[in-house]
Amino acid sequence: MMKQITGGVCAAQGFTASGVHCGIRKNRSKRDLSLILSETKASAAAVYTSNLVKGAPLAVTKRHIADGTCRAVICNSGNANTCNADGEAVAEETCVLLAKALGIDPSDVAVASTGVIGQPLDITPIAEGIPALTAALKPDGSDEAAEGIMTTDTVKKEIAVEFTLGGKTCRMGGIAKGSGMIHPNLATMLVFITTDAAVSPVLLEKALRADVADSFNMVSVDGDTSTNDMVLVMANGMAGNAPVEEEGENYDVFRTALAAVTKGLCRMIAGDGEGATKLLECTVTGADDEATAKTAAKSVITSSLLKAAMFGADANWGRVLCAIGYSGAKVDPAKIGVSFRSAAGEIKVCENGAGVDFSEEEAKTVLSEKEIVIEVSLGDGPASAAAWGCDLTYEYVKINGDYRT
């Protein structure tokens, strides 16, 4: 039994969070430094961007959680701390300063940054902000922490679920930031997930890597893989369940809860893409294997032409077939079917690789909703997949035309 609850990263027992303005961002009304703290040492696992150009905090976090444990994660927005000569030193110093304030070991601190690339990060505002940050920690601080990691995001992204594991009630929650430069591979934007379930570090990493392949790796806003992508999960075991240390029923329950959190965040990230007005979901069925289904689905939601058509509520289904055709997926074009679905209804536009008669007026009504599902059938195979994206609008170019200046 699983249900959605409130609380974000503070829903699970033993976690507190906070977010403050320390001065990295010029706008004093925006929080720019966030903290999540576990009352006890937690199992930890993370995945990182595949971009060869990586933010300095990723290297530091990777070293700090190499032993499979973590207690705190600190994240600043407004500066990515990437491509800086002293980047790692600044990230390490951030951990040292926070650890001293909390009375924990610096190696138990994970660190993350997001914002402009190639701009030196001054440690001064962080050092001056840490006392206020730690003082602001509270059991309902997820909202403030979610705000502190935002950059071009227009809405805070947080979710939490409650589930039963080994007869014990467990909770899991997450926050995320991500609006632009989103086309993950192994990870995504920035995502922090907490749970009070007891899971060994080895199984936690296994679950995370398996999940990311079906969740965050199936999201794209603009085709650009960020330099600072990270998904970090902490499991402190305070729910009191017998630790999940091997695959089996309890591991599967944990995987299901993790998927509920990650896919929920995926939809929020895609729907809040820079300049976006619509959330797009492409569901592919009838594929011969999962790899084919994923390749086709991801190609559809990354097509700039398809994204632009969705912005204009234009049922240009040929762009769906075009995207599948160049994706590299091994499909039979003569078997492809396409339908568009939304809260306003569903309309079939293609069957067996060819167009069918449909009402353009009805199609426009369907495609004028905030959430659009592009349903693709590749035949009668057993595999399926889903991917999430957004429409491509004039506003995207405006946002990124002067992002740095």
Active-site amino acid positions: 188
Whose CA is closest to 278, among 158, 389, 404?
389
Distances in whole angstroms, Cα of residue 42 to Cα of each of 197, 232, 238: 10, 12, 9
* Cα(89)–Cα(290) distance, integer angstroms: 42
- Dihedral, 182, 271, 116, 175 alpha carbons, nearest 10: -100
Question: Identity (one letter) of the amino acid at 93?
Answer: E
Instruction: Please name which of 244, 262, 90, 257 lies closest in space to residue 192, comparing C-alpha atoms.
Output: 262
Residue count (the chain):
405
Q: Are 175 and 40 in contact (CB under 8 A)?
A: no
In whole angstroms, give the CA distance from residue 29 to residue 160: 27
Provide the CB-side half-sphere exposure for 274 (13 A, CA). Answer: 23
* DSSP 3-state percent helix, strand, coil across the chain (nearest 5): 35, 30, 35
Which candidate, 155, 159, 184, 177, places its Cα nearest to that of 78? 177
Alpha carbon dihedral 350, 354, 357, 363, in 10-degree steps, equals 30
d(CA 323, CA 300): 5
The sheet with strand 371-377 has its strands ordered as 354-355, 345-351, 337-342, 371-377, 279-287, 383-390
What distance in Å separates the CA atoms of residue 166 and residue 247, rounded to the nearest whole number?
Answer: 13
Q: Round to whole Å and give the CA distance between 140 and 136.
A: 10
